[in-house]
Structure 1
């Protein structure tokens, strides 16, 4: 799949979310359940909901107990996001598992899925910066700043999309090595977080 198709899926997901613009809205993923499209849409839905949770928690008037609930949701969302990234990498591991890397093959700085993760977040930045660049309640100076930022983000998406396409082509040809390191988040693990296992051991 080309990065342009990924961008289309992310843009569709973000537009679907903003039909209700609510963090508790049901996900409207109409792609076949076992398809890569479905996986990418679900990944971006998690990112989109978390984006808005991050907005909510920054409200200076939010009550402490409400902020704690949102913080817990964000923590859970980060774990879901990591799990989805690994599922995307599983897809590529399966796709390129039979390819023997060439002698000169290089290791990339990140797996395809983590690059796609950045592409998903970039789609969100573009959507929201486009909104800011279209406001009618601010002065021209701010609008021009926002438009400049939007142009930078659009260029960044072009470059990242090209880089992802080139990475996948290199993996297919054996010019790069498909190598994945699983995330080892320690603070979520009751066996690795001292605060959690101390409580467990102390009853």
Structure 2
């Protein structure tokens, strides 16, 4: 059975989107599973650039506070969409009538989490390659960046291959698939001690 998920196409989507979004407004022209991949990638793209601002020294405390809230929100969305990717794979497995072998092992990382890591790697590669184009970069800087790009490309290839192998095992029923709920506590006013204590003070 041909795999319904093309890992090479995912890696290409992520690379193309990062390049396009640095020049044009963010867009998501995809459908079905690839639309989810692109949306999850967008949250990482926005998160990356908010984290750049958070490390700046020339912005006000008020701006940093807002950036921190943006980071919390985007990180929540990033994790929510990892779950959506894994839920979509659960649906695909059911649609293809995959029966998992009894006692089949579960991978330590879900497919959605691996796609998230590939998304971050595409961002890292883009921004490292950007460093090679700097007019003020020294030869030593370019050499270091070139070495890191090679390492990132190796890691991207290894992760892509591992994800392909995992998907083959999942759709052959040799491994079990499960969505792991992130269950973040810090954004939940009923679970974050500071938030529910402050809420109680306001109510009192």
- Structure-1 residue corresponding to 2:79: 82
Rounded to whole Å, the distance in 1 between the matches of 2:140 and 2:194 is 49
Give the Å deviation of 1:57: 1.4
- Structure-2 residue corresponding to 1:23: none
Aligned pairs for 1:44-123 within 5 A: 44-97=41-94, 98-103=97-102, 105-123=104-122
- Structure-1 residue corresponding to 2:22: 18
In the superposition, the TM-score normalised over structure 2's length comes to 0.91
Aligned residues: 196
Give the Å deviation of 1:108: 0.4
Give the Å deviation of 1:136: 3.0
Rounded to whole Å, the distance in 2 between the matches of 1:27 and 1:130 is 21
> Does the CA-based 8 Å contact 1:135-1:143 persist in structure 2?
no
In the superposition, the TM-score normalised over structure 1's length comes to 0.91
Give the Å deviation of 1:180: 2.1
| Structure 2 residue ranges without an equivalent (≥5) | none
- Structure-1 residue corresponding to 2:134: 135
Rounded to whole Å, the distance in 2 between the matches of 1:6 and 1:12 is 10
- CA RMSD, aligned part only? 1.4
Rounded to whole Å, the distance in 1 between the matches of 2:85 and 2:159 is 17
Rounded to whole Å, the distance in 1 between the matches of 2:33 and 2:20 is 18
Rounded to whole Å, the distance in 2 between the matches of 1:125 and 1:53 is 14
> Does the CA-based 8 Å contact 2:131-2:137 persist in structure 1?
no
> Does the CA-based 8 Å contact 1:99-1:172 persist in structure 2?
yes
Rounded to whole Å, the distance in 2 between the matches of 1:99 and 1:194 is 43
- Structure-1 residue corresponding to 2:7: 3
- Structure-2 residue corresponding to 1:27: 26
Rounded to whole Å, the distance in 1 between the matches of 2:199 and 2:57 is 35
| Structure 1 residue ranges without an equivalent (≥5) | 21-25
Give the Å deviation of 1:123: 0.5
Give the Å deviation of 1:130: 0.9
Q: Deviations over 1:69-121 (max 9, x none)?
A: 11111111011111111110111111123422224621100111011100100
> Does the CA-based 8 Å contact 1:31-1:38 persist in structure 2?
yes
